[in-house]
Amino acid sequence: MRKFVIQVDPLTGEKFIEVPFRKHHIIENSIYNKSSAFTLEERESLDLWGLLPEKVSTLEEQCQRVIESYSRKTDPLEKYIYLLSLLDRNETLFYRVFLDHLEEMLPYVYTPTVGEAAKTFSHIFRKLRGLFVSANRISLIDRIFSNAPFSNIHLIVVTDGERILGLGDQGIGGMAIPIGKISLYVVAAGIHPALCLPVCIDVGTNNENLQKDPLYIGLKNKRLEGEEYDFVIEEFVKGVRRNFPHAILQWEDFGKQNALRLLNRYRERICSFNDDIQGTGAIALATIYSAMRLKEEKLKDQRYVIFGFGQAGYGIANALVRGMMEEGLTEKESKERIYPVDKEGLLIEGMTVDEYQRPFVREKNSISGWKLEKEGFIGLKDTIVNAKATVLIGVSGVAGAFNEDILKAMARNCEFPLILALSNPTSKSECSPEAALRATDGRCLIATGSPFPPVKFNGIERFISQCNNMYIFPGIGLGAIVSMSLKITDEMFVYSAKQVADLVSQEDLKRGKLLPDIKNIRQVSEMVAFAVAKISRDSGFGIRGSDEKLLEMIRNSMWDPKYLPYRWAGSK
């Protein structure tokens, strides 16, 4: 396998890329392709005569052409397909356009449009990207990894497609998520795309619609479970360690019965994390930190109701506990301020719960004396009213769950209730920002999981922050790669959350912004990576270096999508 390396000429100091292809082969490789921007010198050395029109385009001119074509697309999925096709042709051009139009294009490259792309993956499938690891071929894992485009992979995003956004089991269609996630790592943290690898582990699907779909391109058997499933994952992880020993592994959209279990099983064996658990927890924590600055209160002063206690709910609860412990509470005292509500109501002693939920189950004596609307069932409103909740967090995937009655109950508990309606895509959001502001007479602080436009209430425009994991995970990955960290810890996520919150100005807080502008995402990722590198160094499992040195390394490693000069490897 080849390595991808950006080199520096020892005589001139010029950065350049040594390319292994010539003729049409280089044009057909998306990492190396410059299309009409190949210089005359490159056309000569790489034997491209006749393959390109005469005029040498600039990157800016190519971007203009892309925007003209992109603007003609009116359907979100068509925009997604067009941008993915551009990625498949010319990665530098794609990332230049994406970075320059980040706010506009983000909803089409990732959520919410990527959900539709996952559902229709087998129908819009055009070109291979990443690696597909079939359970039927797990014995060939080393041969599969030998087909990665480069040998120096530093980041792998892997899914088994079981819990895609709020859509559930999408089987092989889950591959749309690692592909999209990689693009966010690149655009937000500047990790070069040649160093990133999206992977889908195909263990079958329980989605009957996919099983019946004649165009479905994945395994149609029911999902593997138990020892058979664990064997596939074990062989995959061992394969990663053998073939890409320096790679960070991000677990993405695994089902609730596997997500935390796999994270705990492998986090000490391979540098890895689960964005759905840890990333979601950290960005929710960052948003709450910002709200506390506005309220001039602390985490430990709040009472939290988390509606939907799957892996995201657990991740948020775990992050809150660690945040409150930073403020001096014990673990027990921190958990006493958190009320987990699932479809069966408030989780209390005696209920049948999943293993990961058990640490947050409420003791029965903690709810004695509560007045309930329906005897024997403690619902969401009961919990809000009796716990006097000040923060309401939704990760349920239940559209409209935060109705007017629920929101008004929150408004009665404190002056500035915090509402985090985090389910995505947009169709799954627990409430709209407009509904939350209307029900609380404009007093609530709100952030959402999917993008919403600003809302004008009582003549004042309120900005709605998208509680997007993109503020966290790209910097986590970059910091771990640069520091060569042996592990990724929960502490890194807590300090990353603080870094993100600190980047929100007081003026922006007053306008309703609880998170930085997405246009500043590279600054955010830089500071998150810096926090990770420092913790890795101070904990003894990352490279040593002064703060100044670590920050310099992070900045130098962030790729700016521009064409570099090419030199043919055969010209030596």
Burial class of residue 355 in the structure, from the number of CB atoms within 10 Å of its CB (0-12 exposed, 13-18 middle, 19+ buried): exposed
Q: Is residue 438 domain-resident?
A: yes
Residues 208-227, mean pLDDT to the nearest whole number: 97
B/e letters for 244-274, b = 16+ CB within 10 Å, e = fewer, are beebbbbbbbbbbbbbbbbbeebbeebbbbb
Residues 538-557, mean pLDDT to the nearest whole number: 96
Q: Is residue 336 domain-resident?
A: yes
pLDDT > 90? residue 339:
yes
pLDDT in the model for residue 128: 86
pLDDT tens-digit profile of 351-384? 999 999 999 999 999 999 999 998 889 999 999 9
Helix axes 76-89, 91-100, angle to 10 degrees: 140
Cα separation of 388 and 86, whole Å? 51
Confidence class of residue 52 from pLDDT cuts 50, 70 and 90? very high
Q: What average pLDDT is seen over the chain?
A: 96
Cα separation of 241 and 375, whole Å? 54
pLDDT > 90? residue 448:
yes
181-185, 448-452, 465-469, 493-497: lowest mean pLDDT where?
448-452
418 touches 391 (CB < 8 A): yes
The residue range of the domain holding 17 is 6-57
- In this structure, the answer to whether residues 465 and 406 fall within a common structural domain is yes
Residue 140 sits in a domain whose CATH number is 3.40.50.10380
pLDDT > 80? residue 571:
no
pLDDT > 60? residue 572:
no
Q: Which of 251, 270, 289 is the last residue of a domain?
A: 270
Confidence class of residue 424 from pLDDT cuts 50, 70 and 90? confident
Based on the residue annotation, tell me whether 80 is a catalytic residue of this protein. no
pLDDT tens-digit profile of 391-413? 999 999 899 999 999 999 999 99
pLDDT in the model for residue 133: 98
- In this structure, the answer to whether residues 120 and 11 fall within a common structural domain is no
Based on the residue annotation, tell me whether 185 is a catalytic residue of this protein. no
pLDDT > 80? residue 125:
yes
- In this structure, the answer to whether residues 258 and 285 fall within a common structural domain is no
pLDDT tens-digit profile of 89-124? 999 999 999 999 999 999 999 988 999 999 999 999
- In this structure, the answer to whether residues 436 and 331 fall within a common structural domain is yes
389 touches 305 (CB < 8 A): yes
pLDDT in the model for residue 376: 85
pLDDT in the model for residue 165: 83
- In this structure, the answer to whether residues 159 and 183 fall within a common structural domain is yes
- In this structure, the answer to whether residues 10 and 140 fall within a common structural domain is no
Report the percent of the chain where pLDDT is more than 70.
Answer: 100
Q: Is residue 547 domain-resident?
A: no
Strands 338-342 vs 345-346: parallel, antiparallel or unpaired: antiparallel
* Total domains, the chain: 3
Residue 38 sits in a domain whose CATH number is 1.20.1370.30
Q: Which of 42, 57, 72 is the last residue of a domain?
A: 57
- In this structure, the answer to whether residues 252 and 286 fall within a common structural domain is no
- In this structure, the answer to whether residues 135 and 160 fall within a common structural domain is yes
- In this structure, the answer to whether residues 310 and 253 fall within a common structural domain is no
Residues 306-335, mean pLDDT to the nearest whole number: 96
- In this structure, the answer to whether residues 250 and 302 fall within a common structural domain is no
- In this structure, the answer to whether residues 50 and 130 fall within a common structural domain is no
pLDDT in the model for residue 111: 84
Residue 359 sits in a domain whose CATH number is 3.40.50.720
Q: Is residue 459 domain-resident?
A: yes
Residues 471-489, mean pLDDT to the nearest whole number: 97
Q: Is residue 335 domain-resident?
A: yes
Q: Is residue 511 domain-resident?
A: no
- In this structure, the answer to whether residues 265 and 284 fall within a common structural domain is no
pLDDT tens-digit profile of 235-266? 999 999 999 999 999 999 999 899 999 999 99
pLDDT in the model for residue 455: 94
> Considering 32, 70, 110, 314, which one is annotated as catalytic?
110
> Considering 181, 335, 428, 513, which one is annotated as catalytic?
181
CA distances from 125 to 144, 189, 215 (A): 20, 28, 10
Residues 416-440, mean pLDDT to the nearest whole number: 93
